[in-house]
Structure 1
Amino acid sequence: MMKSRFFLLFLMSFYSSIPKIFTTTTDVIATNQSIIDGETVVSSGGSFEMGFFNPSGSKKGYIGIWYKQIRTHVQTVVWVANREKPLTNTSSAVLKFTKSGMLALFNDKNEIIWSTNTSRSVENPVALLLDSGNLVVKDANDGNPDNFLWQSFDFATDTQLPGKKLRTGHEVYLSAWKSDNDPTPAEFTLHFDPTGYPQGLVRNGTKVSIRVGPWNGLWRCGGPAPQQIQSRIFTFQFVFNKEEVYYSFSLINSSVLTRLVLTSGGSIQRLTWVDKTKSWYPYINIPLDPCDRYGLCGAYGSCVMDSSPFCGCLDNFVAKHPKQWEKGDWSEGCVRKTPLDCNKEHVFVKYSGVKLPDTKSSQYNKTMTLEGCRQVCSRNCSCTAYSSLDISKGDKGCLFWFGELIDIRKIAGTGQDIYIRMDSSVLGKYLC
């Protein structure tokens, strides 16, 4: 009897030490199905998996999506459902459809703590995990993406996957985790801001901390050019028309695992999985240097990394407050040596190889020539500067700035030309 009792205790301790074993269902959750802790849904191609998880070192429970192929090496979560309402006990939690057709997460008290909250309903809804990592709720008999009732790609967390659109309208943006083991939303967000001409902005609360320049037809001005970022692996799309505005990327080599992440520290990383080392390689990291800090040198200041100090005034400009400038406080920026007078003649000075300024106070035209840009800007004294909108096939279209020019840096390779309004007393070599 004593031996039997010892054997039973041994078995209990042995099984309690075994890691949680996941059982896999199909790639779909139907109205008569549910997912409990230990069960997962796997996309049809085996790329992604969804289920309950606990971040490393945390007892809080979440529903999430992660890469299935690399889970044995590192669990890389790309989406979290209940990031603001974690489960304290996953053993009695369940993910299932409600009677009204919403996919919902119930806690151990049978309370809904997260749901898809779809605005439309159908008779036979299903939740399907696609091989893109997108979880969709749709009519079981309707495969048209335009008719999806809900999709996780529209409610991103900190990760942009291939095919996911960062867009305006129904805004889709990235929201950083609070820490590596806490998916609660942090203060850092990455928005595709349509104010003026669209540009990427990382905000810390309401304050801009990083700005990714406007799309110029080839790449984002001031960011890495396609030939610098593994163009054999992925391509970029920027769509800007009457129907929608979004930025996304697509894989050329579908076997590559790559993702864009907004980190808990507020940086943007593009990570690629390296199978040899079984780890994520940070191919791109923004900010790369101090000049990537938004508005470091103030209005009409230019940041140059190989200079000391980093900040200097553009040619024909001087520090607005020289004493502050000399002490390393560049926040007030620069002013023209010769102030503008709208009653006098103006010229436009060409500045080459720069990251174009903040476009929040800009306007644009998609069809004008560069000469047309100059003529339009010259007729409006409040037009501060202009540049070409699209350089993919020569200079086409116009970007016009109104007000002070902020967040300029000198940059090799991906910089552009900008033409800034100046008093005609500047040297003749600048005339254009």
Structure 2
Amino acid sequence: MEDQYIHLLFFVAFILLLLDCNSLDTISANQEIRDGKTTLVSEGEMFELGFFSPGKSKNRYMGIWYNKISYGTVVWVANRETPIADRSGMLKLNRQGNLVICSGGNPMVWSSNPVESMQGMKFGKDLVTGLQTIMTSWKSPDDPSVGVYSDIHDTNGYPQNLRFQGEVLIGRLGPWHGLGFSGFPLDKTNQIYSLDFVMNENEIYHIYKLKSSIAQRIILTWDGRTLTLQWIERIQDWIVYAESEVDNCDRFSLCGAYGICNINKHPPCSCMQGFEPRHPEEWEGSDWASGCKRKKPLTCGDGKGDGFLKIPGVKVPDTRRSWYNESMTLRECEIACKRNCFCTGYANLDIRNGGSGCLLWLDELLDTRVYDGDQDLYIRMAASELEGVVNSRSNFNKEKRTLIVVLITSSVVPLLFLVAYAFRKTKKRPHMKSQGKWYVYDEKNTSLQMEQLDDLQFFSLYEVARATDNFSVSNKIGQGGFGPVYKGVLKNGREIAVKRLSETSQQGLSEFYNEIKCIAKLQHRNLVKLLGYCVHENELILIYEYMTNKSLDWFLFDETRSLTLNWPQRLNIIHGIARGVLYLHQDSRLQIVHRDLKAGNILLDGDMNPKISDFGLARKFVGHDTTAKTKKVVGTYGYISPEYALQGHFSIKSDVFSFGVLMLEIICGQRIREFSHGDRYDNLLGHAWRLYKEGRTFELMSGSLQASCVVSEVLRSIHVALLCVQNHAEDRPTMLSVVLMLVGEGALPEPKQPAYFNEESCRELKILPSVAGCTITLLYAR
């Protein structure tokens, strides 16, 4: 789900808002609502009940839709399977207390069930009555009858949510682990909704409640998409607030039994440690459904015993064949699993406060995936197989400890010996092997794989050279601060972007390793995906997904290409970048400050969706430590915040400043370091501020946008940008506030005079850092 920026759950019932708003006006016995003549409006006039025809259909249905906003957007349908062919329908309340729809000579087209209750918007199962809430899609946009997609809260084993296409299980939301759902991004504390899970002897359900007046709805579309939509009064339309992002690892049991899916690897499926493909020939053909088998059988019951291997950070397997206890400790859980010869693994039920409760699997482990979360899985293995793993890790840890001592002594980044060797080679940079003329037929050309990066695919230099036609100039698609970027095609036909450290680059091994550490485990639709890496002697190479439309600056600052970027596209790019930065600052496991947001580091996919790239300068924060100081200021002239440039202080507010600059560039179509206006010394920020103070803000917009712009959107975007470039970090909004301000319509706070008001103040930047003992490294990519 994306991106998402407040993550919501796809199974929520289809009348989210209805049940949190005032009830519909009551209907008395013998009162009628006739098709075409009468409707019933809620007390707050938010909803209306009556008869309607969906889409192009001529059939009539009784339903509830929005009244004051988005008139005609249906949130509930009564007679889904029994439409009325004409306008003779009537809704009555009979003396038994049931709502009844009748039509012509048919006295009961549809009737409510007196035992049905939607109180509190529960999604789950009543264990007393057996009543279960199921979410189903429409058959088509014109037909609200039950479609092929459905979401169900399954209570076999430990409860979890399953998605079906007909009778076929196609998706699974992991079970509740105390903070959220296993394998699903954790929802941060927010002011929009609350979510909880309840399980007792009477019922099992999830409950979702809106905490604000914001209109949101979650729909399961007829074609199986789950969308969270939010009403924006300013544009009088629904926007996609979040969308369930489906990747290969979301397909149920893609990798089969004891397989584990990792979307950051290619191919994504591999066997868990201690297991091997059941049918190797099928795996070689990328058919993983047969799964994996144990290399060595379990010895349960023969006195030798088995052990358990910890797999950290996973979406736990399918729990339909599981057993659970809410009060056991993890140690007690291990003992219980060891005593049961059918037990294949265990985990904590609740990951809060160090973990509690016990969840045992009593069958093959299905649908497990690597996930950037805090839930660990312990899989059962033969003692002899486990010894090999433990010994291997023990030897590795000893070498690692020795290496750390050596590296600390020599003040080198904490890498393995081979990487340190590559670092020394990189520092010397003799002649870059004649710029890397590697012969593609030399398949024995060996490269160095970083032991610490086993979550990321390793490519040999042979593979990279073959993919790029020996780093052919004809395949070069860009040049950044790190080095040249090439387009390549892997053996399986996948297009890739290859970023190669150049001989003259101001960056090196530390930036290379930093980028891998920061981005390897991040997953968001507005972040570029890192596919792998290559280290070979003094060659340092990063492999990314290929972006068809290159970078934002390639479009934005070209006189001809910029004409193809209309206002809706530019606004979509602004929103996408904002959501991506918000993910880095708040919703990712590692709180990350990018430190080099600029148009050249925003890539565009085939649909012109933005993806943030280049994490070589990024820094991560842990816990509440959200500010840091450095003596080496790095970044790009014009985008660096004043407190960072002058004092070396950086924080998430540094990125907010850079984002504000980027917004102004997108709106006016000019690069900040090349901006000029008449004979004034104003830079882009100063020019935007003067126009704002004079009431001429709209004049900042590029003239090419006149035909496609929405004036209110342009003015609001410039206003938000000015708030982002405030001189003092504490005056700038957070990215969460930025996202909400961009999509909202409420009043905005007044901005103050921005930093670097004119070129004279910018020139002072070159002198002041030396006084503070700082060094500025300015990187000009592309």
Residue 166 (structure 1) aligns with: 123
SS at match of 1:368: coil
Residue 248 (structure 1) aligns with: 207
Residue 81 (structure 1) aligns with: 78
TM-align CA RMSD? 2.0
User: What is the CA distance between 1:279 and its match in structure 2?
Assistant: 2.9
Deviation by residue 1:306-352 (Cα, 9 ceiling, x = unmatched):
11112111222211110000101100111122222222321100001
Residue 428 (structure 1) aligns with: 390
**Mapping of 1:168-317 within 5 angstroms?**
168-169=125-126, 170-227=131-188, 231-253=190-212, 255-317=213-275
- Contact 1:267/1:287, CA 8 A, preserved across alignment: no
**Mapping of 1:34-49 within 5 angstroms?**
34-38=32-36, 39-49=38-48
Any gaps of 5 or more consecutive residues in structure 2? 1-22, 395-782
Residue 406 (structure 1) aligns with: 366
* Equivalent residue for 1:345, pick from 305, 313, 336: 305
Deviation by residue 1:10-39 (Cα, 9 ceiling, x = unmatched):
xxxxxxxxxxxxxxx971111131101232
**Mapping of 1:313-392 within 5 angstroms?**
313-342=271-300, 343=302, 344-392=304-352
Distance in 1 separating the partners of 2:254 and 2:174: 15
- Contact 2:351/2:374, CA 8 A, preserved across alignment: no
Deviates more, 1:30-39 or 1:53-62: 30-39
- Contact 1:386/1:398, CA 8 A, preserved across alignment: yes
Amino acid in structure 1 at the alignment position of 2:313? G
User: What is the CA distance between 1:260 and its match in structure 2?
Assistant: 2.5
* Equivalent residue for 1:397, pick from 344, 347, 357: 357
* Equivalent residue for 1:29, pick from 27, 30, 44: 27
Q: TM-score, normalised by structure 1?
A: 0.79
The percentage of aligned residue pairs carrying the same residue is: 42
Q: Is the helix fraction higher in 1 or 2? A: 2
User: What is the CA distance between 1:117 and its match in structure 2?
Assistant: 4.0
Quick check: which has more Rg, 1 or 2? 2
User: What is the CA distance between 1:217 and its match in structure 2?
Assistant: 0.5
Change (3 A) 1:64 1:304: same
User: What is the CA distance between 1:202 and its match in structure 2?
Assistant: 0.8
Distance in 1 separating the partners of 2:187 and 2:153: 19
Amino acid in structure 1 at the alignment position of 2:124? R
Residue 403 (structure 2) aligns with: none
Distance in 1 separating the partners of 2:139 and 2:101: 22
- Contact 1:33/1:96, CA 8 A, preserved across alignment: yes
Amino acid in structure 2 at the alignment position of 1:96? K
- Contact 2:63/2:78, CA 8 A, preserved across alignment: yes
- Contact 1:222/1:415, CA 8 A, preserved across alignment: no
Change (3 A) 1:114 1:407: same
Distance in 2 separating the partners of 1:43 and 1:67: 10
Distance in 2 separating the partners of 1:188 and 1:333: 26
- Asked if residue 68 in structure 1 is aligned to residue 63 in structure 2, the reply is no
Amino acid in structure 2 at the alignment position of 1:108? G
Q: RCO higher in 1 or 2 (8 Å CA, sep ≥ 6)?
A: 1
Distance in 2 separating the partners of 1:244 and 1:322: 45
Any gaps of 5 or more consecutive residues in structure 1? 1-24, 119-148, 155-162
Residue 126 (structure 1) aligns with: none
Deviation by residue 1:85-108 (Cα, 9 ceiling, x = unmatched):
101002x21111234442111112
How many residue pairs get aligned? The number is 361
Deviates more, 1:292-301 or 1:420-429: 420-429
Distance in 2 separating the partners of 1:341 and 1:67: 62
Amino acid in structure 2 at the alignment position of 1:45? G
Deviation by residue 1:59-87 (Cα, 9 ceiling, x = unmatched):
01100011222234xx2211110000101
Change (3 A) 1:110 1:428: closer
Amino acid in structure 2 at the alignment position of 1:67? Y
Amino acid in structure 1 at the alignment position of 2:143? D
Residue 89 (structure 2) aligns with: 93
User: What is the CA distance between 1:296 and its match in structure 2?
Assistant: 0.7
Amino acid in structure 1 at the alignment position of 2:122? K
